[in-house]
Amino acid sequence: MSSADRPGQKPASGRGLRSLTILRTVVRYRLDTLVAPYAPERLRWLFRISPLNLVPQGSRSRGERLKLALSELGPVFIKFGQLLSTRRDLIPLDIADELAELQDAVPPFPGHTARSLVADALEREFDSVFSSFQDAPMASASIAQVHPATLTSGENVVVKVVRPDIESVIAADLALLTGLARWLDENVDIFRPLHLPDIVADYRTTIFDELDMRKEAANTERLRENFAGSELLYVPRVHHALSRTNVLVLERIYGIPISDMATLRSRGTDMKKLAERGVETFFTQVFEHNFFHADMHPGNIFVNVDDPADPSYIAIDCAIIGRLSREDQDYLAKNLLAFFNRDYAQVARLHLESGWIPEETDPDAFEQVIREVCEPIFAKPLNEISFGHFLVQLFQAAREFNMEVQPQLVLLQKTLLYIEGLGRELYPQLDLWETAKPFMEEWMVEHVGPAAALREVAAHAGELLERLPELPAAILTAETRLKSLERNLRNQTRELKRLEERVARGAKGRILTRVSGASLLALAGLLLFNPLSEALTGGAGISASAGVASALLGSLLLLRA
């Protein structure tokens, strides 16, 4: 991908037109009403006098309006909405339910365009590589589409081709989404625990990785190697010699889509084993390989039922991969086992040690809240407990203690929710706890405890021996270093106080700007009453539409200032 395709390289005129499109969509679906109830009191009056109030909301629910708006805005917003739908602990459930229905499917681009893109990427005559190529794609999404083909060697393959010119569209949208995330984080309290700027930054990396088929090829190859010879999961072979930045050629697989429950049952598939293997596959990827497929929605999962009594999974589309640090793995494993064992005091300690809740939190009070959430849930038979629902309730309770979202765990939680939902659909009596607990206990024996500590010491014995002569001097100078750190901390505290005073003085200077912004909003409401209605119904010309969008954009800029 060239530097011109990266965020910030889009021509200003393109960004401006895209901004107008987004603003028009915000107006049409009255998305301001989603933010207004959660805005701080100092900003709510701006929403009350906004000219957007002249536009009726219609009969659609707020979740449906948001879903339709994101669908219209394209791939970046669709995928971000899908990601937000997994944060049911932090966004209203009615909105989460609607966002979960977002479909990443768009009309295909022409088959002859796909052929041309493939030929250009391979720098070879098309017919010298493929003996057949179906122009009608078997799948079409916002990033790429997939065509069945046959190599001249006779092997059946699928060819994944990135949409032409999609990079510049995504770059422009990400720049706007980044600005919106920052504004919401700074001005709307309910969004602050979400760490939206961090999530968008991670999302930026994820979506640009999706555009690079070489990275997907590498992910696919590694996942294939991790499960080589496994009875749990099969991953198709990559044709590396035919894969480029915008083209990926894979072995074609023939399985039953996981969503086709009727066919699976008609073939006599052991649904209990299939559901349990899904859970085992997830925990193997997260805790054994630390490399997990993070986009395991039904469209990416197939089932091999050559032996219905011994079914296995087939995974495709490895563009989005998740990893955890060793620290996150340890804390996650310990937390899960503590929950399995109902050791709520341990859960509270772990959350404090990991920094997931503020250090000034009363551990006894936090433990009591966790107990109040968990005990009614554990009163049910284990196979009736939804682990995903349990996590949602737990995180909602933890918000009382200002528990912050951990962006590195967002993909993990999304995948876990997918896996449990899929498992329960396959086999409603699935006991996720019974299936996962032995796996977690074995992992803890291998990675935590005396035996694991001895292995770590043995692995670093040479380095420890080299550092041993430095130990006496380090002990003797420790007190001096601590005093130096204390002095630095006091100096930094004084500087922070001075900075706060300067910021407070600057805030007074912004009062005039805010008054100007309010005047602009009121004036826009008076002048644009008729043009606004006509622009939204398509009855006005481009000048009226531009006037509406310009007034809105100017107001937002003043508000941000």
Cβ neighbours of residue 32 closer than 8 Å, sequence gap 6 or more: 26, 47, 50, 52
User: For residue 88, what is the DSSP state?
Assistant: T
Per residue in 433-467, is it b (16+ CB within 10 Å) or e — as a string?
bebbbebbeebbeebeeeeeeeeeeeeeeeeeeee
Length of the chain measured in residues = 561
The Cα–Cα gap between 287 and 440 comes to 8
Active site includes 295? yes
Collapsing DSSP to helix, strand or coil, 324 comes out as coil
Candidate list 295, 328, 364, 431, residue with the active-site label? 295
| Contact (CB, 8 A) for 301 and 313 | yes
Number of H helices, E strands in the chain: 24, 11
DSSP letters of 384-425? Answer: G--HHHHHHHHHHHHGGGTPPP-GGGHHHHHHHHHHHHHHHH
Query: How many C-beta neighbours within 10 Å does residue 52 have?
Result: 21
Helices 363-378 and 387-398, interaxial angle, to 10°?
A: 150
**Assigned token pair, 70:** 């994101």
Per residue in 402-412, is it b (16+ CB within 10 Å) or e — as a string?
ebbbbbebbbb
Provide the annotated active-site residues: 295
